Structure 1
Amino acid sequence: MPNRITRLTVDEAGGTTGRSLGDRVSYMLARPHERPPRPTFHRLPGEVRTSRVDPGLLDDRTGHFVAQLAAPSAEFRASDGDVVLVDVATGSQAWTESEPDGWSVHQSGPLRLWDQVETALLSWRAAGAPDQTAFGMTVTTATQTVWLGAPDGPSWRLPV
């Protein structure tokens, strides 16, 4: 997923706000870093329901970006064509499964990862599924928030 630049402007209160720019940026790594080995994924039993969105939306770069905003501590994994989200800190997980008439989602743990992702994706699609230039950010001394369209539009708080 490409990185984006967001131009922020400081206001009188010391907060900042701004929009994502269309420019893509990249960074050269100083040296390669391998991630620690992931534990083997085991599908845990939990709540099962029909998904309101096609997990294929995460194949879109902006769809993936929106999903990460909604569940910032979750890791995305693909498993035999299904989407798997795992929150290492809480043990929460969500995984999708193809059904003849759509998709089902299985969720377990204290965080409802797919609920969060699904709600965000529906908000993004309701706004016309714009690219990342439609997003902006507001930063205060206490919060960092990414919003869609305008600061009073759909928004997601980032961990600080």
Structure 2
Amino acid sequence: MIARPHDRPPHGPFELLPGEERPSRIDPALLDDWTGRFVGQLAAPSAERLGMGNEQILLDVATGSQARTRPAADGKGWTVVRRGPLDLWTAIEDALVQWRSHGSPHLSAFGMTITSDAQKVWLDLPHGPSWTLPI
């Protein structure tokens, strides 16, 4: 899910491990949309995205946290499995729900404020919804 123009952070081999399961509040395919992927990256800046459509896999290279989605067994909605100290999918869900509640605006609706000690990406206005980036 790299949105910035640089190489992926290195990671060794990993395996999909068991974790906590719950229904997803969003369609995982929202991450297939370029702006949806951008918003997801704001919420989980050190996560690498693997997979596509209903079957997304997120791996946080800094902590080893994982999230993966799949269609729900009953065919209604999606299931997410999470593992590790960061709840990657909840952060992404929250960000995408917020983006969609503002009408799923194009990238041109985003702005950025940079100070000597912080970087913040915001939606519509500097005091609107925002995500603080690592520096």
Is the TM-score greater than 0.5?
Answer: yes
**Unpaired segments ≥5 residues, structure 2:** none
Distance in 1 of aligned mates of 2:14 and 2:56: 12
Q: Which amino acid aligns with 1:108?
A: R
The answer to which structure, 1 or 2, has the higher relative contact order (CA under 8 A, 6+ apart) is 1
Q: Which amino acid is the alignment partner of residue 138 of structure 1?
A: T
| Matches of 1:36 and 1:67, distance apart in 2 | 17
- CA offsets, 1:91-140, max 9 Å, x none? 10000011110100000100000010000000000000011000000111
Match status 1:127 vs 2:102: yes
1:146 aligns with 2:92: no
Cα distance between partner residues in 2 of 1:153 and 1:85: 27
Larger radius of gyration: 1
1:81 and 1:126 mapped to 2: Cα distance?
21
Query: What is the match of residue 105 of structure 1?
Result: 80
Q: Which has more strand, going by share of residues?
A: 1
Tell me the TM-score normalized by structure 1: 0.75
- The residue that corresponds to 1:78 in the other structure is 51
Matching residue's letter, 2:127: D
- % same residue: 56
| Distance in 1, Cα, partners of 2:22 & 2:98 | 20
Q: TM-score, normalised by structure 2?
A: 0.88
